[in-house]
Every structure is written in structure tokens, then in C-alpha cells.
């Protein structure tokens, strides 16, 4: 499991070589307060693809400082790709990671073969109870976020692990992530995206409800949509096989 230096910051990532170099390359970008562990093994080792799953700065095993805007995260992802010499990748982003992928697509279109937007949206307003709560009572805010992030009937162990992982994020980093989401808005620019795009959303997602992904489908030219039963905002952890199959089918159809 290697590290690389991106703009002076020691960055951790997991790499799986499942296809010839330069072919079917997927880069997974996690959401607010997350890490590479938000992507289950079925995705980190997706059959028939080269995958790179990174920890953004200041969380997981990466060093550095969290960013304060989606644009800054997209710039970091661009620097990560340049450092590793990756071209024409499919960016797979969850929630804030999806916003990062959208910003990347609008400003670095030449670097993309495709987009997969998981539980995300063109605008990501954050409830004051979350945004303010992170500063006022960090642990209570983490519990609130994770209660909403998973479908009501998922195993308690999954929620508990979600709380444990998010609770390891520094409060300043988590607040910066949600502040970045709160000011993100590319609703009027989706028509400029020219690469193949897939939106995936859990039907029980309460943080970025299906209407967000439907909007992406309806406003990004040629975009596809997969809605997944029995899953909430953390759809890739709740229904990993269904998400893996949807992404594998999408990538297969691009080649």
C-alpha cells in the first residue's frame, strides 16, 4: 500500500492492477470526513480495472491539511493524477468526492474518461445542525451524521464502524469538508460536462436523496442513473455488490 508526495503532502493510496496499464483506470475519491475505507474491497479491487483509492489530505493515513473548498480538492486530485502519471481516468466520487469529481470534470475535462457520482449532487447544502454541530459537540455531530448516512435497517455494526472512522477525523478537517460542500453549486453548468457519466444513489438516502441524482441524470448529457434498493447515503458499504456491478457495467460499456 504505497505513499506518494503530492504538492509536498505525503498521500496514502491503495492500488489494484486488474487490467493492462493505462486501461480502465478508476480513481476513487471519498466523501466528507471519510477515507479510502469508505470504499469496500469489492470496489478497491474491482475486477478488470486498475484502481487507485486515496486518502485525501489530513485524514486516513495521509498527511497534510484538509481543504476549505471543492475546487481545492479537485486541484489536489489533479495533482495526484499528475504525480502518478495517470491519464484518461474514470473518477468515482462519493458525496463530497462526487462534487470534487464534478468540479474536476468542468475544469480538467481532458483528464477524464468518465464520471461515477455516488450519493452526490450538483449542489450540496449542509444542515446547520451538522455544520455548526461539528464545532459545538463533535461526537454528537458524528453520531447525527452517521444516523442519517445509513438506511434505518442496516446492521448496527456498520453504523458503529462508520462513527468510529469519522470520529478519527480532526474536527477542523470535518468542518472544512462540510463548509466546502455547503458552498458548492454547479447546477447551471452540468450541460458543459462531455464525458460518460453514471449517477448511483440509494433509494433510502436521506443526506443526498434520489432527486439529487435524478437531476444529475437529467442535466448531464447522456448520463445514466442507477437507484439501489435497501441502501442509504453510504450505498457502497450497504450494498457493495450492487454498486460494484453497476460500476463494472458502466466501465465495460465505455470500452
Question: So where are the chain's domains?
Answer: 3-254
How does strand 25-29 pair with strand 3-6?
A: unpaired
Q: What is the pLDDT of residues 144-198, one digit of tens each?
A: 999 999 999 999 999 999 999 999 999 999 999 999 999 999 999 999 999 999 9
Q: What is the pLDDT at residue 23?
A: 80
Report, as an integer, the average pLDDT of 4-15. 95
Q: In whole angstroms, what is the distance from residue 13 CA to residue 3 CA?
A: 6
Mean per-residue pLDDT over the chain, rounded? 95
Q: Which CATH architecture is the domain 3-254 placed in?
A: 3-Layer(aba) Sandwich (3.40)
Smallest CA-to-CA distance from 36 within 5, 2, 7, 67 is with: 2
pTM (2 d.p.): 0.96
Judged against a pLDDT cut of 80, whether residue 57 lies above it is answered with yes
3-class DSSP state of 36 = helix
The residues, ordered by sequence, that sit 6+ positions from 39 with a Cβ below 8 Å of its Cβ are 28, 30, 53, 94, 236
Smallest CA-to-CA distance from 182 within 207, 213, 209 is with: 207
Judged against a pLDDT cut of 80, whether residue 254 lies above it is answered with no
Q: In whole angstroms, what is the distance from residue 126 CA to residue 238 CA?
A: 22
Judged against a pLDDT cut of 80, whether residue 76 lies above it is answered with yes
pLDDT confidence bin for 1, thresholds 50/70/90: low
Amino acid at each position: 500500500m504505497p505513499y506518494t508526495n503530492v504538492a509536498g503532502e505525503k498521500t496514502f493510496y491503495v492500488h489494484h492492477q486488474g487490467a493492462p496499464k493505462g486501461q480502465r483506470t478508476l480513481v476513487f475519491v471519498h466523501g466528507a470526513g471519510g477515507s479510502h475505507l469508505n470504499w469496500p474491497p469489492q470496489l478497491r479491487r474491482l475486477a478488470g480495472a486498475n484502481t487507485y483509492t486515496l486518502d485525501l489530505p489530513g485524514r486516513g493515513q495521509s498527511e497534510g491539511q484538509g481543504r476549505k473548498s471543492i475546487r481545492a480538492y479537485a486541484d489536489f486530485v489533479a495533482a495526484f493524477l499528475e504525480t502518478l502519471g495517470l491519464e484518461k481516468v474514470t473518477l468515482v466520487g462519493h458525496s463530497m468526492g462526487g462534487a470534487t469529481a464534478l468540479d474536476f470534470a468542468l475544469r480538467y475535462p481532458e483528464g477524464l474518461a468518465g464520471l461515477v457520482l455516488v450519493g452526490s449532487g450538483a449542489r450540496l447544502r449542509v444542515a446547520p445542525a451538522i455544520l455548526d454541530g461539528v464545532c459545538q459537540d463533535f461526537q454528537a455531530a458524528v453520531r447525527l451524521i452517521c444516523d442519517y448516512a445509513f438506511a434505518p435497517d442496516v446492521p448496527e455494526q456498520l453504523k458503529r464502524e462508520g462513527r468510529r472512522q469519522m470520529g478519527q477525523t480532526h474536527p477542523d478537517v470535518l468542518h472544512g469538508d462540510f463548509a466546502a460542500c455547503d458552498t458548492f453549486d454547479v447546477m447551471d453548468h452540468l450541460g458543459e460536462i462531455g464525458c460518460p457519466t453514471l449517477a448511483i444513489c440509494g433509494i433510502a438516502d436521506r443526506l443526498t436523496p434520489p432527486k439529487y441524482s435524478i437531476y444529475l441524470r437529467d442535466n448531464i448529457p447522456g448520463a445514466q442513473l442507477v437507484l439501489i434498493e435497501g441502501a442509504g447515503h453510504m450505498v457502497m458499504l450497504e450494498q457493495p455488490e450492487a454498486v460494484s456491478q453497476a460500476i463494472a457495467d458502466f466501465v465495460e460499456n465505455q470500452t
